[in-house]
Structure formats: structure tokens, C-alpha cells
């Protein structure tokens, strides 16, 4: 007879425009001289090279006098998205909930903001691109991994793979998730959404790319069909909408 697993609920958050109400990578570019990146830096961006692009931005900011203290102090002004504090106050007080972040931002920004916002003890694990300040004070960033198996994701981060690996690890530790609630906003949140089951929820933020993408998936010429998405789709505007869905599950 198999050992019974501990039944829990997993809340999975993207970071930018989800937990926080800004894109942290775009926000930091305001530290550039005049608040704007020069065209020669902007032109370095390639669709599949976000981490390399951000590394160039960090080098440019450092060259123009941006220090670790000035960067992190500036980032501290980013607010939580409306209603997220109320949501996390409820779920973090309930032992049935685990919370993780899967984000294409970087570890320095996320860990700093979690500390500033008082959420370090709430989030169980963070999966993102590793970053640190080097000996000269320049922020350096690396890819989380380099993947070639998912065409829906960038080469440096497949959120679906990360989510599946995390769930398998927890199952091996005796934890099973009766419900998974994935909260996001962008194109790269579709891949993990496709890994969800009928009892799970994919929650795209209203007015952002993920919801628009899901709405367009009804078009049979799209590479991903709407029928491939098994989870319930629950759009949200504030964290209170997420909390409302959780309460509808009986928690």
C-alpha cells in the first residue's frame, strides 16, 4: 500500500506585473542618463537573448556611475500589485499553501524586493536567472538554464519545465498538490499553463499579453489550440480576485 501524501495547494507567481506592479528589468533602465537607454544599447536586444541584453544594460549603468546601493535603493520603490498583500496575508497564514515564484527577472532584484516588501518568509522557493554584483559593483546575470525543448519559451528559461520538476520533487518528498493556481501576465506563462490539470487554475492578468494570447488561441491556425489548455482560466485584476477564486475552492 502506498504512503499517503500530504495534500496542499500550490500558488505559483510570475514576478513582474504580477507580484509587483512594474517590470523590474524595464524599471531599472530609468537609472540610465536622462532616464533613457541609448539606441546602440536598445539595438542589442534579440528575441531569444533577454539575459544577454540585460547584462549589457547592467554594464552600461555601471559605466555611468550606477552603484549597487543606488540601484537597489531605486528598486525599493516598486510597489506590490494591488491586493497581493491581502492575498498573501491569508494564504501564508494557512499551512495548506505553498508559494513559489518562477520569473525571467533575476535573483538580485527578486530577493531584494521580497525583503523590502516583507515577503521573504512567505515565498518557499524562487526560480529565476541568477545574478550578483561583481567585485567592481557591476550587476552580472546568467541564464537559469539553456533549453532547446520548448518553442513557447525563451532559451534561458522554460517555466513549464521548472514547474513540472518542482512538483515531481515535492511528490518525492510526500507532498501532493490538489490544486495548482498559476498567476501570471506574459507570453512565457502559457507554457506552464499548459502543464496544468482540469482541477487547476491559470490566472492571466487582465489587460496583459497572456490573456490576449489565450483569447486568440481559439484560432485553429495558432500553434497552440485552446483545447490543449486543460486548466480553468480565471482572469484577474487585483490580488483580491485571486483570493476570491481560492475561497471558491473552500479555503
- Give pLDDT tens digits along the chain (251 positions): 456 788 999 999 999 999 999 999 999 999 999 999 999 998 888 765 789 999 999 999 999 999 999 999 999 999 999 999 999 999 999 999 999 999 999 999 999 999 999 999 999 999 999 999 999 999 999 999 988 888 888 888 999 999 999 999 999 999 999 999 999 999 999 999 999 999 999 999 999 999 999 988 866 556 566 668 999 999 999 999 999 999 999 99
Strands 139-141 and 131-133: antiparallel
Residue 75 three-state SS: helix
Q: Which CATH number fits domain 6-22+79-129+143-248: 3.40.50.1000, 1.25.40.80, 2.10.50.10, 3.90.1150.10?
A: 3.40.50.1000
Contacts of 172 (CB under 8 A, 6+ apart): none
CB 179 within 8 A of CB 200: yes
C-alpha distances out from residue 112 to 34, 42, 133, Å? 25, 26, 13
Question: CA 188, 151, 231 angle in degrees (round to 5)?
Answer: 55
Alpha helix segments (H runs only) across 173-230: 190-194, 209-216
C-alpha distances out from residue 200 to 65, 79, 177, 229, 246, Å? 47, 28, 9, 11, 11
CB 245 within 8 A of CB 203: yes
Helix (H) or strand (E) holding 52: helix 50-63
Q: Measure CA of the first residue to CA of the last residue in the chain; give whole Å.
A: 29
Cα–chain center distance at 139: 20
The torsion of the CA quartet 201, 123, 54, 164, rounded to 10 degrees, works out to -50
Annotated binding-site residues for Mg(2+) read: 14, 16, 185
Instruction: Please identify every residue annotated as catalytic.
Output: 14, 16
From the CB of residue 27, how many other CB atoms can be counted at a distance below 10 Å?
A: 16
What is the C-alpha separation between 112 and 139, in angstroms, rounded? Answer: 13
Instruction: Supply the pTM of this predicted model.
Output: 0.94
Nearest to 27 by CA among 146, 127, 113, 150: 113
Amino acid at each position: 500500500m502506498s504512503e499517503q501524501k500530504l495534500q496542499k495547494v500550490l500558488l505559483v507567481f510570475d514576478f513582474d506585473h504580477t507580484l509587483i506592479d512594474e517590470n523590474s528589468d524595464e524599471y531599472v533602465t530609468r537609472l540610465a542618463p536622462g532616464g533613457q537607454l541609448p539606441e546602440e544599447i536598445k539595438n542589442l536586444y534579440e528575441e531569444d537573448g533577454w539575459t544577454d541584453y540585460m547584462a549589457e544594460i547592467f554594464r552600461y549603468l555601471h559605466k555611468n556611475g550606477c552603484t549597487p546601493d543606488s540601484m537597489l535603493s531605486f528598486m525599493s520603490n516598486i510597489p506590490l500589485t494591488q491586493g497581493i498583500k491581502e492575498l498573501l496575508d491569508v494564504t501564508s497564514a494557512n499551512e495548506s499553501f505553498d508559494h513559489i515564484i518562477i520569473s525571467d527577472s533575476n535573483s538580485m532584484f527578486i530577493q531584494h524586493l521580497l525583503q523590502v516588501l516583507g515577503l521573504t518568509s512567505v515565498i518557499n522557493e524562487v526560480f529565476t536567472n541568477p545574478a550578483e554584483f561583481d567585485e567592481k559593483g557591476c550587476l552580472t546575470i546568467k541564464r537559469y538554464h539553456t533549453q532547446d525543448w520548448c518553442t513557447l519559451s525563451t532559451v534561458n528559461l522554460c517555466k513549464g519545465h521548472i514547474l513540472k520538476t518542482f512538483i515531481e520533487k515535492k511528490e518525492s518528498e510526500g507532498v501532493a498538490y490538489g490544486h495548482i493556481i498559476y498567476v501570471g501576465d506574459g507570453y512565457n506563462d502559457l507554457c506552464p499553463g499548459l502543464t496544468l490539470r482540469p482541477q487547476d487554475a491559470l490566472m492571466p492578468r487582465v489587460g496583459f499579453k497572456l490573456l490576449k494570447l489565450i483569447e486568440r488561441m481559439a484560432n485553429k491556425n495558432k500553434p497552440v489550440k485552446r483545447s490543449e489548455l486543460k486548466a480553468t482560466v480565471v482572469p484577474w485584476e487585483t490580488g483580491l480576485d485571486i483570493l476570491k477564486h481560492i475561497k471558491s475552492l473552500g479555503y
